[in-house]
Structure 1
Amino acid sequence: MHKRSSRLMLAAVAAAATGTLLAGCAGGGGAPTTEDGKTKVIFWQQQFEDYQQAWFKEQVKEFNAQSDDFQIEHLVVPADTWDQKLKAAQAAGKAPDVKTTNYGSIKPMQANGQLADLTALMDESAFDDIAENIAPFVTVDEGVYGYPLLVEPSTVLFYRADLLEAAGIDAPPTSWDELVEDARTLTADGVLGMNVAQTANDLGWSSWGLQYNVAGDLPLRGDWSEASAIDPAYEELAELYQTLYQEKLMPQEATYGYADCSFFGEGKVAMSACGSWALGQISSNPDWANVWENTRVAPFPSHNGDTTLPTSTLGGWTLTVDSKSKAQEGAAEFVQWLLADDMDRLVDFFTATGFSKYPARVSVTEALAETEEASASPFLATITEQIVPYAKAEPAYPWDVSLAFATAIEKAMKGSDIPAAFQEAQAEIEDVIKKQKLAGAGSGS
């Protein structure tokens, strides 16, 4: 039995008293209904990989078949039109009742009053199962405004076991000094030692975990009143990028973006930073079979070798319910049914990902680890036990802040004076704070 807010219970009583005609009448303020009297629930899903599309489609079909009260209408929206389409629908008062939402959007959307508090709509036990380090991603004060589907570590170290062995390296690096030394050793015979992001757009999000690693925080902290881009700790991070690039231990042209692990898959680099999703990319390309056979993963090295410090952020997706939805009850019931109830449904989903994405629920993580497929995976335990538990949330502040800081890293990488580059970033972030009135808008850290 779901928890219900008093507002929703009163609404249900009022609807019953008014009669079924009102429920099907848009002019009466109720949610639209199907011919057989079920309440329509509009679900927008951002377009993902093909196997995810198939999974969502099958789950919607199954939910509709077993529900006596609600009918999910599923719409897949391409990523490049998502923002435009969603804003237009919201402006017209036709926002979807439930939608896929990334973690970084939860708190800004909640602050704008766009999301319903799920603790008033779902079973309390559902929230107890969310992993401790992931719960803050979707929580504001005592409310939960998105129910997590998955997490994807943004930064994982991929390495070629055969090339490391041939070079006499018996284990992947755990510190930045070791990473540089191994990259030097591995740069030979037309293969470069390492690959990392190298443009500001990619550095802006791929380095968040490393910013936390070296400085314990991001360049906009606390309540967002002051920039911290000139924290001297960040200079060590810039030096890492600068050394790899200036010594030509990494590709000199950004032929592929950070999210694309093709440099590694094509055998052009011995080690590469990329997100966990690259497991799916590498394994699915028949031309990369030799690389895949020798692929291993490890946590990206820490600046000082401490393996408990974050080196990655966790991106990923949740389902959220619109605060103005006239079908909140049905939307929440779908979210609970899909993501918070049957573990087997999610175990099947994560197995289908090839263990390139990871559960946000503790019970699902435990159940997944006990499957035969998971036991045979050389990647699952490493990522779920050594990377995910220490990863941080993506920042909720505007992208302009991340881009300003990343521009400083790119300038340093290409040879600019490091302190001077961060001074420029400091000034740009201070300008963003002023123009976008960010001071006091942060929740603290």
Structure 2
Amino acid sequence: MRRRGIVMLAIAAVTASVAMSGCSSGGGETPAGTTTVTFWQQKFEDYQQAWFKKYVDQFNASQSKVKVDYQVVPGDTWAQKLKAAQAAGKAPDIATTNYGNVSPGVAQGQFASLDELLPAEKFDDIKGNVKPFVTIGGKHYAYPMLVEPSTVLYYRTDLVTAAGLDPASPPKSWDELIVWATKLTQGAVKGMTIASAAPDLGWSSWGLQYNACGRLPVNDDWSKAAAMDPCYEKLLGLYKTLYANGLIPKQPKVGYADGAPYGQGEVAMMAGGSWVIGQLKNDFKAMIPKTAVAPFPSFDGSTGKTTATLGGWTLTVDAKSKAKQQAAEFIKYLLAGDPAIMADFFKTSGFSKYTVRSSVDLALASNPDASADPFMKIISEKVVPFGKAEPAYPWDISLAFGTAIESAMKGSADIPTSLKTADAAINDVIKKQSLAGTAPK
């Protein structure tokens, strides 16, 4: 299951020309004495396939003993294809893996530890708040590629000014956000857009759950629900106020991951993931000069607190691979090698995704395109450093809490009842899936 909006966009980008078996940049005969490693990449935006192929080809051209067979697999068939390959003992040597699947994969024995395959200094380069995303039991089982904050505040500077607000001083608290959304709701234009359906609320609110309570709605060892903690009442109250007061669209045409309502001028502000920057730059270029970004407000106005989780992708090596070291050599080259390679990726992405290595930050600091980007500095410095990992527990827990938010915001039940229902549902998931004591350490 892929819970984040990135994949929803990626699946939407899959073209009919990509067959279920995937497309490959392999081909040709492999010289004697050369080890071929297979690399499966889940299909994302088109530019990513071009970028991966460019560097696979460069790696292959630089090697005499290792060849990477690069294959792109459509997102809507990825899980089925990978599971079938694993069952048949034919899993790819290297695969793209999201952060949320690292811990479950390790528990199932799917991934090889990279500590014996890569130099220790390659892990030292990973940012401190990202390193735990790929570390289980003190060992590194994946190498991170990027992070994408789940929640950033976008706002129209022209509409903000027209409403008598200061675009240089965006809202810092949830109460201030309500004030802005109220003043910006004018005629057909709503004050903002935010998730309003349980499946989107289940994952897009993770950062705000951390902000409200400093934790997610289950205890640390996954043995008991914690959804009835009173601190969550203010979170549900935020959503309820936005919805009940008509400050957000009540029947949105698209889900949280899609920034089209903002790009089309239907709303003045947007809670959205960092990936929306790429969508705006590609599809709504005229909106860029009148758009500003800020960290999503915290419940009490304090800064430097988590309001976003950091989703993203890694490369992993299959635990049963017969070419682990060769696979790791490619990962070292692509993700952990010359910082200019990953700097090129972030430039290619339109700076809509963010670095996980300190050395790549330095490389981008000298890049004039990165310095000129209107969004990168704010998100890199004010959002990413405070982001937390997406939870590794089963999606059913997130969905139960997302259902509680939707129930409260739309008036199906009051806030205490909605949280009580979520608490019971989470405890039921814990019991039925025997989760107690299974939280990763």
Fold-level similarity (TM above 0.5) = yes
Letter in 1 for 2:252: A
Are 1:153 and 2:149 counterparts? Answer: yes
1:64 matched to 2:53? The reply is no
> Is 1:38–1:71's contact at 8 Å kept on the other side of the alignment?
yes
More displaced stretch, 60-69 vs 126-135 = 60-69
What's the counterpart of residue 442 of structure 1? Answer: 439
- Aligned equivalents of 2:241, 2:365: Cα separation in 1: 39
> Which amino acid letter does the alignment assign opposite residue 389 of structure 2?
A
Question: Which of residues 94, 97, 118 is equivalent to 1:98?
Answer: 94
User: Please, which of 394, 415, 420 is the counterpart of residue 390 of structure 2?
Assistant: 394
State the Cα distance separating 1:189 from its structure 2 match.
2.9
Deviations 1:300-344 (A, max 9, x none): 000001111100000000000001100101100000011111111
Specify the alignment match of 2:255 in structure 1. Answer: 257
- What CA deviation, in whole Å up to 9, does each residue of 1:155-210 have, x standing for no partner? 01010011111111112111000000010000013211011000000001000000
Question: How far off is 1:111 after superposition?
Answer: 1.0
Residues 3-402 of structure 1 correspond to what in structure 2 (within 5 A)?
Answer: 34-170=30-166, 171-285=169-283, 288-402=284-398
1:14-39 residue CA offsets vs partner (Å, 9 max, x unmatched): xxxxxxxxxxxxxxxxxxx9343211
8 Å contact kept, 2:136–2:440 = no
What are the Cα deviations for residues 243-267 of structure 1, in whole angstroms up to 9, with x where unaligned?
0000000001131100001110000
C-alpha separation between the residues in 1 aligned to 2:286 and 2:185?
19
Q: Secondary structure at the match of 2:248?
A: coil
* Aligned residues with identical type, % of pairs: 57
Report the Cα distance in structure 1 between the residues aligned to 2:304 and 2:361, rounded to whole angstroms: 20
SS at match of 1:341: coil
Does the alignment pair 1:428 with 2:408? Answer: no
Matched residue type, 1:62: Q
Conserved 8 A contact 2:148-2:310: yes
Q: Please say which structure displays the higher CA radius of gyration.
A: 1
Provide the C-alpha distance between the structure 2 equivalents of 1:295 and 1:406, rounded to a whole number of angstroms: 29
What CA distance in whole angstroms lies between the structure 2 residues aligned with 1:134 and 1:347? 18
Aligned residues: 410
SS in 2 for 1:132: coil
Does the CA-based 8 Å contact 2:154-2:292 persist in structure 1? yes
What CA distance in whole angstroms lies between the structure 2 residues aligned with 1:263 and 1:221? 37
**Is the 1:222–1:443 Cα contact (8 Å) retained in structure 2?**
no
Deviation at 1:283, TM superposition (A): 1.2
Match of 2:12 in 1: none
Distance 1:228 1:136 in 2: 23
CA distance in 2, matches of 1:172, 1:80: 38
Task: Give, in whole Å, the separation in 1 of the partners of 2:250 and 2:187.
Answer: 17
Q: Does the 8 Å CA contact 1:199/1:254 hold for their aligned counterparts?
A: no
C-alpha offsets along residues 52-94 of structure 1, whole Å, 9 cap, x if unaligned?
A: 1000001111111111211100110011100000000000000
2:15 corresponding residue in structure 1 = none
Q: Given residue 71 of structure 1, which amino acid in structure 2 is its aligned partner? A: K
Amino acid at match of 1:302: S
**1:141: Cα distance to partner?**
1.8
Q: Which runs of no fewer than 5 residues in structure 1 stay unpaired?
A: 1-32
Extract unaligned runs of 5+ from structure 2.
1-28
The TM-score with structure 1 as length reference comes to 0.91
Distance in 2 of aligned mates of 1:267 and 1:392: 31
What RMSD in Å do the two structures reach over aligned CA positions? 1.0
The answer to whether the 8 A contact 1:221-1:227 is kept is: yes
CA distance in 2, matches of 1:159, 1:104: 30
Determine if contact 2:103/2:440 at 8 Å carries over to the other structure. no
State the shift of 1:347 in Å: 0.9
Number of the residue aligned with 1:414:
410
- Give the CA deviation at 1:425: 0.6
**The structure with more helix, counted as a fraction of residues:** 1
Q: Tell me the SS of whatever aligns to 1:297.
A: strand
The offset of 1:293, in angstroms, is: 1.9
CA contact (8 A) 1:265 1:292 kept: no
Note closer, same or farther for the CA distance 1:289–1:74 as it changes in structure 2 (3 Å cut): closer
SS in structure 1 opposite 2:266? coil
Quote the Cα distance in structure 1 between the aligned partners of 2:268 and 2:286. 13
Q: Determine the C-alpha separation between the residues in 1 that align with 2:390 and 2:195.
A: 17
Once the two structures are superposed, what CA deviation does each residue of 1:380-403 show, in whole Å capped at 9, x if it has no partner?
A: 110000000001100000000000
- Residue deviations 1:267-321, cap 9 Å, x none? 0100000100101101111xx3432220111000000011111000000000000
Are 1:212 and 1:311, in contact at CA under 8 Å, matched by a contact in 2? Answer: yes
The whole-number CA distance in structure 2 between the counterparts of 1:215 and 1:398 is 20
Task: Kindly state the Cα deviation for residue 366 of structure 1 after the two structures are TM-superposed.
Answer: 2.1
Structure 2 Cα separation of the partners of residues 290 and 341 of structure 1? 37
Name the amino acid aligned to 1:432: V
- Partners of 1:87 and 1:443 lie apart in 2 by 22
Give SS of 1:231's match: coil
